[in-house]
Chain A
Amino acid sequence: MTGTELTVRIWRGQEDGEFQTYRLATRAAQTVLDVVTEIQRGQEPDLAYRYACRVGMCGSCAMTVNGAPRWTCRTRVSAVARKGILKLQPLRNLPVVKDLVVDMTTFFVKWQKAKGVFEPGSVPLADFAIVKPNSAERRAVDAGVECIGCGICYSACDVVAWDRDYLGPAALNRAWTLVNDVRDRGQTERLAAVAAVGGCHSCHTHMSCTRLCPKNLAPTYAIGGLKRASARAALKVTT
């Protein structure tokens, strides 16, 4: 594939804008982020995009590549280009700042709304909490705790596109890890938050978040866990 021409269509502007076409030569083992950087340095100096680590640790280079949200630093052109064409757009479901850069504020505000923050309680624990590595709770935390908040799942989610109040897979996944944290003292408020309108019960189990998560996490199953926990809590309240 090296040396052949690659056609790249990039979204320019904000919510209103248009695609502009760039052409460049393909290179061996080239990533989508390499392509955007080459265009920005050689053809379009005011092209806005975001990246930091370039090695799949920060998640800031997430964009929509040929219709699916991906980390561009970990996506090889050869794996996603269709007939030598790449179509790059900003992440779906988030407002565009400029070109390929989105405003992540809503995404993180929803983490707060889902009570995705450790709640230590007013009085510190008298002793260390004993958490067995193979306990069900610890394994549930392990399954979801590696999320780095890149927004891929949020962009992939159709329910977020339909319902702007929906908390989204990342926030709910974070809440589920905390529901399983035996040290946390904010469980009642957290379950009330995730079971409210726009919470876990809005999930339609499309599995897009689970399919596209670059960390191979499964927010769908975390959301299933929240559905069970909130149903149990509701039964306890009514009986």
Chain B
Amino acid sequence: MKRSTSFMRSQRRAGVVAALVHRLSGLALTVFLPAHFLALGAALSGAKAFERFMNVTNNPVIKVLEVGLVTSLAVHLACGLRLLAIEFLNLHERTAVTIAICFAFALACGLLFLLNVQMGSVQVVPS
């Protein structure tokens, strides 16, 4: 039997989880970016092409993915700011607390966006 040098389960503490989430959210954003550039590029072909693209995105699956995207963006931002604060502002943190704040911020952003999606879907009928 070969000696295991893999990730030890007991090592999966806040710092490691934050690094993992930071990296995975970064990867999720790189998947989103080409779609984002395609949307912007469609605008170059005129308003109709852009509208066509936007109509494709106007479905519940994409809306759910958008909430995930906003959460990913927020968590990536918060984790990145944490690292910058440790490295360049010499922040001596209580790791679990700082990371919990980062995750809470991301969740709040996601929920706010979800609220906006919900409000946006409400049809106001003029009296």
A residues whose Cβ falls under 8 Å from a Cβ of B: 11, 14-19, 64, 66-68, 89-90, 92-93, 96, 156, 158, 161, 204-208, 210-211, 218, 220-221, 224-225, 227-228, 231
Q: A18-B1, A204-B19 are known contacts. Are A92 and B90 too (CB-CB below 8 A)? A: no
**A64 to B15, alpha carbons, bound, how many Å?**
20
Q: A93-B5, A207-B95, A224-B90 are known contacts. Are A67 and B10 too (CB-CB below 8 A)? A: yes
Instruction: Choose one: B9, B16, B88; the contact of A206 (CB below 8 Å).
Output: B16
**A191 to B7, alpha carbons, bound, how many Å?**
30
**A15 to B2, alpha carbons, bound, how many Å?**
6
Q: A156-B11, A208-B13, A208-B15 are known contacts. Are A16 and B3 too (CB-CB below 8 A)? A: yes
B65 within 8 A of A: no
* Shortest beta-carbon distance from B25 to chain A in Å: 15
Q: A68 contacts B10, CB within 8 Å?
A: yes
Minimum CB distance partner of A204 in chain B? B19
* Shortest beta-carbon distance from B110 to chain A in Å: 24
B125 within 8 A of A: no
**A116 to B83, alpha carbons, bound, how many Å?**
25
Chain B residues, Cβ within 8 Å of A231: 88
**A93 to B7, alpha carbons, bound, how many Å?**
11
**A198 to B13, alpha carbons, bound, how many Å?**
24
* SS class, residues of chain B in contact with chain A: helix
B92 within 8 A of A: yes
Q: A68 contacts B2, CB within 8 Å?
A: no
Which of A11, A16, A204, A228 lies at the interface centre, i.e. has the most chain B CB atoms within 10 A of its CB? A204
Q: B7 contacts A158, CB within 8 Å?
A: yes
Q: B3 contacts A89, CB within 8 Å?
A: yes
Interface size class, chain B: 20 to 34
Chain A residues, Cβ within 8 Å of B24: none
**A64 to B83, alpha carbons, bound, how many Å?**
28
**A218 to B90, alpha carbons, bound, how many Å?**
12
Q: A206 contacts B15, CB within 8 Å?
A: yes
Q: A16-B3, A17-B1, A96-B3 are known contacts. Are A67 and B11 too (CB-CB below 8 A)? A: yes
* SS class, residues of chain A in contact with chain B: mixed
Q: B8 contacts A67, CB within 8 Å?
A: yes
Instruction: Choose one: A17, A161, A228; the contact of B87 (CB below 8 Å).
Output: A228
* Residues 1-43 of chain B, each 1 if its beta carbon lies under 8 Å from chain A, else 0: 1110101111101111001000000000000000000000000
Q: A205 contacts B3, CB within 8 Å?
A: no
**A207 to B86, alpha carbons, bound, how many Å?**
11
15 chain-A/chain-B pairs, Cβ below 8 angstroms: A15-B3, A16-B1, A18-B1, A64-B8, A67-B9, A67-B10, A68-B10, A158-B11, A158-B16, A205-B19, A207-B16, A208-B13, A224-B90, A227-B87, A228-B90
* Shortest beta-carbon distance from A160 to chain B in Å: 10
In the A-B complex, the 10 residue pairs with the closest CB atoms: A207-B15, A67-B10, A67-B8, A224-B87, A206-B15, A68-B10, A18-B1, A206-B16, A227-B87, A207-B95
